[in-house]
Amino acid sequence: MGVGMDVVPYDVPAWGVGELYFRAGKLLYHELPRAGSPPDDPPDHPLAERVLAYFRGERVSFEDVELEAEWATPFQERIAEALRSVPWGEVVTYGELAALAGRPNAPRAAGTFCAENNFPLVVPCHRVVSSAGLGGYGSLGAEYKRRLLALEGVDL
């Protein structure tokens, strides 16, 4: 994925294998766990430990994680900030997220940001739902999103 990048794989029982990508100490990208071969050694990184704790159902905060998001527009930065402020166990609609980011008439843009989110737990787009129900969750699907929300006590 690039020069000067560190990759930290992690294995979550009943979920699969994920990876954290860092550049210069900032989170560049995060892959949620899915079927795959577990790493040879357990993760030796504080963020990987927090991710594992999250998947054990512990209330974990990721608000202090520095993100490599120089690509983001000012609106995308506001969307990310708004998403990071949605508490554990709560959900917002795409329209509510857009309003929290200062653009109440931009729910599609909020949805596009969620679909392209490089930091799915740190910027918790699984906490954003459609006004008609659960909504999608990219290639991982709605059932994966439902499982993440169930970890947080949300039943949709």
Per-residue pLDDT, 71 = 85
- Domain assignment of residue 43, yes or no: yes
- Residue 65 in any domain: the answer is no
Residue keyed to tokens 């129900």 = 133
The residue whose two tokens read 């917002």 is 92
Q: What is the pLDDT of residues 4-55, one digit of tens each?
A: 789 999 999 999 999 999 999 899 999 999 987 777 777 788 999 999 999 9
User: Same structural domain for residues 143 and 90?
Assistant: yes
- Number of other CB atoms surrounding residue 64 within 10 Å: 8
For residue 3, the model assigns a pLDDT of 64
Same domain, yes or no, for 100 and 137? yes
Structure tokens given for 118: 């490089």
Assess whether 79 and 144 both reside in one domain: yes
pLDDT tens for each residue of 91-141: 999 999 999 999 999 999 999 999 999 999 999 999 999 988 888 888 888
| Domain identity same for 78 and 120 | yes
Domain membership of residue 63 (yes or no) is no
Tell me the CA end-to-end span of the chain in Å, nearest whole number: 36
At 52 the pLDDT is 94
pLDDT tens for each residue of 78-101? 999 999 999 999 999 999 999 999
32 within domain boundaries: yes
Check whether residue 42 and residue 82 sit in a common domain.
Answer: no
Residue 18 lies in a domain: yes
Backbone angles phi, psi at 93, to 5 degrees: -85, 170
Domain count, the chain: 2
- 156 part of a folded domain: no
Residues with catalytic roles: 125
